[in-house]
Copies of this chain bind each other. A is one copy, B any other.
Amino acid sequence: MTSPLFLHAVPGIPLVEPGDDIAALILAALASSELVLEDGDVLVLAQKIVSKAEGRYAYLNDIQASAEAVELAEQCDKDPRHMQVLLNESREIIRKRPGVVIVEHVLGYVHANAGIDRSNIDSDEDSPRLLLLPENPDHSAAELRSSLLASTGVNVNIIINDSAGRAWRNGTLGFAIATAGFEALENRVGEADLYGRPLEVTEVAVADELAAAASFMMGQGDEALPVVLIRGAKLRPSTAGSAALIRDREKDMFR
């Protein structure tokens, strides 16, 4: 019998502030829940807590909107300073219409609003702020993995996830903006199918499948649980991070 997969939303993660040690917060929360990390576990972290720990805030009162940002704000019915922040975080605008701007983020993700959050941010009305993606999410994931290995001796895998809308389908879905410890994209070229012929499917986005599952557990709003422990996932070790999940622009038919 194959082993089951367990997903556990870790309770007791406090609201995260800039400079917080995420590894320590996770270990304390796990200890309170009598959960003990094991080799091969996957910890999935919501992007927001990584960004908050890294202090990735942009304060709108500090932003000077360019002419381009003012024009984009008019087209999309948004705050010009917000659009300036979005332009700073983006390589290219893919689609825009009132209420929606979909961009290629500087990190390569095609993402609505460049992954910039306003919900679940304690944004003082006198000093409104936005929360950006981590500066180098794969690096953040690798650092967390190293830190947990140093303090516990356990080899865990890390996913940082975010949720986003998609082409063609309604609703948001969790996806991986970073990974550490395992192959994010599994290449299955050459494996035989049940009848011995080569599989047509060649690459499986296992990190995104696990990120989506964790997103289901994290919930939203007052049920927010930003860390999910996954146990039982058979993954292939890798130090490569998550870059393989992003399709090269020249191979992308949907720009």
Contact = CB atoms under 8 A, between A and B. Distances in A.
Nearest to A235: B216
Contacts of A120: 193-195
Q: A-B pairs with the 6 shortest C-beta distances?
A: A171-B205, A213-B213, A167-B254, A212-B212, A110-B168, A209-B216
Number of copies: 2
A119 B245 contact: no
A223 to B, nearest CB: 8
Contact of A167 (B110, B193, B194, B212): B110
Contact of A221 (B194, B213, B224): B194
Contacts of A195: 120-123
Interface in A7-54: 7-9, 11, 15, 33
A5 B253 contact: no
A70 interface: no
A208 B253 contact: no
26 contacts: A2-B8, A4-B7, A5-B213, A5-B216, A6-B7, A109-B168, A119-B197, A119-B199, A119-B200, A119-B201, A120-B194, A163-B201, A167-B252, A169-B208, A171-B186, A171-B206, A174-B209, A188-B221, A191-B220, A191-B221, A192-B221, A193-B220, A193-B221, A194-B224, A208-B212, A212-B212
A1 B206 CA distance: 27
Contacts of A193: 119-120, 220-222, 224
A149 interface: no
Nearest to A207: B171
Interface of A: 1-2, 4-9, 11, 15, 33, 95, 97, 100, 102, 109-110, 117-123, 163, 166-175, 185-186, 188, 191-195, 197-201, 203-206, 208-210, 212-213, 215-217, 220-222, 224-225, 233, 244-247, 252-254
A237 to B, nearest CB: 17
Given A168-B247, A209-B216, 13 more contacts: A2-B11, A5-B6, A5-B7, A7-B7, A95-B254, A119-B199, A119-B200, A119-B201, A167-B252, A172-B203, A173-B209, A191-B220, A194-B221
